[in-house]
Amino acid sequence: MLRKSLLLWPALVAGALSLQSCDKAGGGNFAKTQSGIEYKIFKNEGGKYSSRTIPANGDTAAYRKRLGQIIALHVEYRTAKDSVLFESRKQQMGYPVRVPLQAVVRKGGLEEAISLLEAGDSAVFRFNADSLSVKTTGQPAPPPIKKHGNTMTLFVKVDAIQSQADAMAAQQKAMQEMQTKQMQHAEQQKPKDAATIQEYVKKNNLTTQATPSGLHYVVTQPGTGAKPTQGQTVAVKYRGTLLNGKEFDSSAKSPGGQPIEFPLGVGAVIPGWDEGIALLNKGSKAVLLIPSSLAYGQRGAGADIPADAVLRFDVELVDVKAAPAPAPGGMPQGMPQGR
């Protein structure tokens, strides 16, 4: 839950849509492709939606003509119990996510589902969660999804199908607008987060130190080792909760209860962690109170961390390791390229 990208799978992140009305209007059962994808597709004709079917084998000549183009769409993922996992309109601040249209290699998964769509379409796809995860990542569905049942429903609204040049221009414009909005929102949120933290500190009788960024921390058990420096690999045990006490993640839930390891100060984790862990000596235990601007901001994270949430982490800096040696080409060994 700490990494910047909290998408369990798949990599498509996009938004909430008002497809429930289309679903009801379509009525009836899902159609099904030969590969096992259950679907309802609705074509927009003059503001009215009508049901559209596709060949049973999912192979459409129209899609082959669109290869190489970019599809801009909004998506919402729901579990079998109708819990919302991802909403792109929240994650993308109302902007669509863009996906290259490529030849379908894996039938029965997201690649094929997206290939069935045309400009203006709205659709509902239903998958077996394990099957979808294996086709996407090679692994079974993660426990946070399986606990809600073994069905995944995907709601999709196609915004546009564009050439690569048009999509790139639209994406650059959207990113600039998003960054401006995020900075403005973060500035407006800072005093609210500060007041929230002060109220929490007082209510829980904590004596914290504050950094200029707004991070509050208290060392509950001093360590005797050195403080880590940028680039060094740290191992941290942690428990993350909202300020109401609800736990959203913990290293105790990892296989064997092992601490998380990551390179410090290179953006592998949220900014509040990069800053907070750097303040601790090896062996220290501490409480970090992280304002939303140093956590997940107005986007929130998944179904457990709402927008503008101040987070509490109880952490223990278990180990500090030397920075990975530079590999040929200047990248540290063991570090993924392009991070």
In a domain, 183, yes or no: no
In DSSP terms, which residues pair with 219 in a beta bridge? 286
Q: What is the DSSP string of 284-299?
A: -EEEEEE-GGGTTGGG
**Does the pLDDT of residue 66 top 60, yes or no?**
yes
Pair 136, 226 in one domain: no
Place of tokens 């991802």: 86
Q: Is residue 91 part of a domain?
A: yes
How would residue 4 be classed by pLDDT, with cut points 50, 70 and 90? very low
Residues 257 and 154 reside in one and the same domain: no
Min mean pLDDT across 77-86, 95-104, 111-120 is at: 77-86
Q: Is residue 179 part of a domain?
A: no
Let me know whether 38 and 104 are in one domain.
Answer: yes
Question: Both 158 and 208 in a single domain?
Answer: no
- Where a domain ends, among 145, 162, 179? 162
| 3, 234, 237, 245, 339 from 252: Cα distances, Å | 17, 17, 8, 17, 27
Residue 284: what pLDDT? Answer: 96
List strand residue ranges (DSSP E) for 24-69, in order. Answer: 31-32, 38-45, 48-52
199 and 152 in one domain?
Answer: no
Number of domain units in the chain: 2
Lowest-confidence pick of 74-78, 92-96, 230-234: 92-96
Which of the residue ranges 28-32, 70-74, 311-315 would you say has the lowest mean pLDDT?
A: 28-32
pLDDT of residue 37: 86
Least confident among 13-17, 172-176, 253-257, 310-314: 13-17
- Position 332 scores a pLDDT of 40
Question: Which of the four pLDDT bands, split at 50, 70 and 90, describes residue 135?
Answer: low
Instruction: Indicate if 108 and 201 belong to the same structural domain.
Output: no
Query: At residue 104, what is the residue type?
Result: V
Angle, CA of 74, 75 and 79, to the nearest 5°: 165
Confidence of residue 54 (pLDDT cuts 50, 70, 90): confident
Query: Residue 219: inside a domain, yes or no?
Result: yes
How far apart CA 285 and CA 207 sit, in angstroms, is 15
Residues of the domain holding 58: 20-162
Torsion of CA 215, 237, 11, 30, to 10 degrees: -110
Is the pLDDT at 339 greater than 70, yes or no?
Answer: no
317 has pLDDT over 90: yes
Lowest-pLDDT range, 9-18, 96-105, 156-165, 282-291? Answer: 9-18
Same domain, 151 and 254: no
Please report the pLDDT score of residue 106 as a whole number.
80
Report the C-alpha gap between 271 and 273 in whole angstroms. Answer: 5
Angle at 224 between CA 226 and CA 310, to 5 degrees: 75
- Read off the CATH number of the domain in which 246 is found: 3.10.50.40
Mean pLDDT of the chain: 80
Residue 55: strand pairing partners:
none
pLDDT in tens, 33-44: 888 888 999 988
Q: Where are the alpha helices (DSSP H) in 204-270?
A: none
Identify the domain boundary among 127, 162, 197.
Answer: 162
In Å, how far are 75, 123, 214, 224, 264 from 297, measured between CA atoms? 20, 30, 14, 34, 21
Distance between CA 241 and CA 185 in Å, rounded?
Answer: 23
| Inside any domain, residue 73 | yes
Question: Are 205 and 120 members of one domain?
Answer: no
Give the per-residue pLDDT at 110: 84
Dist CA 253 CA 226 (whole Å): 28
**What's the CA angle centered on 288, arms 282 and 290, to 5 degrees?**
135
**β partners of residue 84:** 78
Same structural domain, 123 and 195:
no
From 147, 162, 177, the end of a domain falls on: 162
Whether the Cβ atoms of residue 266 and residue 281 lie closer than 8 Å to each other = no
> Which structure tokens are listed for 241?
């909760």
pLDDT digits (tens, 9 = 90+) for 192-249: 999 999 999 999 999 999 999 999 999 999 999 999 999 999 999 999 999 999 999 9
25 part of a folded domain: yes
Q: Is residue 242 part of a domain?
A: yes
Please tell me which residue, 28 or 95, carries the higher pLDDT value: 95
What is the predicted pLDDT for the residue at 138?
Answer: 65
The verdict on residue 86 lying in a domain is: yes
C-alpha–C-alpha distance, residues 225 and 283, integer Å = 6
DSSP SS3 for 63: helix
Q: Are residues 80 and 199 in the same domain?
A: no
Average of pLDDT values for 95-110?
86
The C-alpha atoms of residue 69 and residue 319 are separated, in whole angstroms, by 48
Is the pLDDT higher at 106 or at 196? 196
User: Within this chain, do residues 204 and 276 fall inside the same structural domain, yes or no?
Assistant: yes
CA distances from 124 to 17, 24, 135, 153, 206 (A): 11, 11, 19, 7, 49
Of 62, 99, 73, 69, the residue nearest 19 (C-alpha): 73
Tokens representing 74 are 């909004």
Shared domain for 217 and 315, answered yes or no, is yes
3-state class of 152 per DSSP?
strand
